[in-house]
Amino acid sequence: MNESSSSPFADDGFPQFKVRLAERMSRLPPYLFGRINALLYKKRRAGDDVIDLGMGNPSDPPHDMVIEKLVEAARDPTNHGYSQSTGIMNLRREVASKYLKKYGVRLDPEGEIIVCLGSKEGFSHMCLALMGPGDTAIVPAPTFPAHAHAVTLASGNVISLEVADCERFLSNVAFTCQHLHPRPKLLIINYPHNPSSVTVEPEFFVEVVKLARRYGFMVISDAAYVDVAFDGYQPPSFLAAPGAADVGVEFTTMSKGYNMAGWRIGFCAGNSEMVRALGTIKAYYDYGMFQAIQVAAIVALRHTEAAVEAQAAIYQHRRDVLVEGLRRIGWDITPPRAGMFVWAKIPDYWRARMDTLSFAMKLLEEGDVAASPGSGFGPAGEGFLRMALVENEARLRQAVRQIGRCLGQEARPDVKERTPKPVSG
């Protein structure tokens, strides 16, 4: 384009072409993790050994049995055509079997379970099925970005309520329903919570169902981290609450406990009408998951639960290493009872001097440690970092040393080694 580019016409006499994006794109906020990621890639290209605790991307492999089954199934020519967008029946039956064994919940694999291309895809398409202009969803705060943005992309409105205190959260849900007109159409819950790792007991979901029936909202439970729990804690399922399937659905995934994040295998289970609506949307968007992956997923669900428990124990040891290390250099940390993250409160000295994004950039620039700034999860996350337990214990110890040097702190001799005592939300 030449100096005449300010003209409304191009050199060929046609009007200057302009890409016109949908209005919904303007409703998406700036991506606050972008600066962190850009610097991370730049440093790694320069040869710097950055310890990346920013993303909950499992670094351990799936069970050998699962990989071997994938290879075998991939060699079967019958698995290379289009599959069902809802998932093959044997996989849905296996999901139903897991719910029955683990939670005592009976599900109809025909009408109450659907396979998703990762739970994030299923969640986003469910929002398209449920939400529209003028509709409002309540989401947890701090907020996993997809929980808010999927509602926005579906033209809905978002109200964020803090989750740190579970009783207060329920009270705020009721207050919002009483004072907002029209009432919220959807409640999104996420336990164990990402990013804060807040957990709940079964009674919490009983109260959620009561509120849903009283005020007429639907419920989506994002249970991505139920397979990663510590110290004997067993995260409950929303669907185990009496009447839950009358008001909502639950999304689960094989990304975390099964170390199959890149395989993109998720499930939606519960209310048959909501599941059917998701299936309708998916039928217009995809032809289903590669069938060989589904066959391997059946083997994983049927035969590798011991490996899932062993993986949770690995995350628990990593949690202890990271929490104790940060405590020794003066950080005030509440150990999580579940999930893949430590939600770390930034020391007061630094909170008073810079915002959370600047602090995270400092750790990356000067300490070669990447972590997710809490502000990337909304205002409720300001003053915190989310640190993923994806590195081995030696690397986590190294990360603590580098953080200490970056901040001019040494290990505190007055803090003795101890096993962290988790606190529920």
**Which of 30-44, 109-123, 332-346 has the weakest average pLDDT?**
30-44
Q: What is the pLDDT of residue 413?
A: 46
Mean pLDDT taken over the chain: 93
Query: What phi, psi does 160 have (nearest 5°)?
Result: -105, 130
Average pLDDT over residues 126-142: 97
Higher pLDDT: 2 or 372? It is: 372
pLDDT confidence band for 418 (50 / 70 / 90): very low
pLDDT in tens, 309-351: 999 999 999 999 999 999 999 999 999 999 999 999 999 999 9
The rounded percent of the chain whose pLDDT value lies above 90 is 84
Average pLDDT over residues 200-228: 98
Question: Same CATH fold, 64-303 and 30-59+307-406?
Answer: no
**Residue 301 and residue 63: Cα distance in Å, rounded?**
11
Encoded amino acid at 187, one letter: L
pLDDT confidence band for 422 (50 / 70 / 90): low
Going by C-alpha positions, the residue among 156, 162, 148 that lies closest to residue 193 is: 162
Residue 416, pLDDT above cutoff 60: no
Domain range list for the chain:
30-59+307-406, 64-303
**Residue 301 and residue 115: Cα distance in Å, rounded?**
13
- Distances from the Cα of 170 to the Cαs of 163, 182, 206, 242, 248, in angstroms? 9, 19, 11, 17, 16
How buried is 355 (Cβ within 10 angstroms: 0-12 exposed, 13-18 middle, 19+ buried)? middle
Q: What is the pLDDT of residue 409?
A: 67
Residue 421, pLDDT above cutoff 60: no
Overall CATH class of domain 30-59+307-406: alpha beta
Q: Would you say domain 64-303 falls under CATH 3.40.640.10?
A: yes
Average pLDDT over residues 208-234: 98
pLDDT confidence band for 419 (50 / 70 / 90): very low
Q: What is the pLDDT of residue 5?
A: 58
pTM for the predicted model, two decimal places: 0.91
| Alpha helix segments (H runs only) across 334-392 | 348-351, 356-367
**Residue 235 and residue 215: Cα distance in Å, rounded?**
26
**Residue 368 and residue 280: Cα distance in Å, rounded?**
46
**Residue 401 and residue 360: Cα distance in Å, rounded?**
16
**Residue 254 and residue 264: Cα distance in Å, rounded?**
8
Q: What is the DSSP letter of 385?
A: E
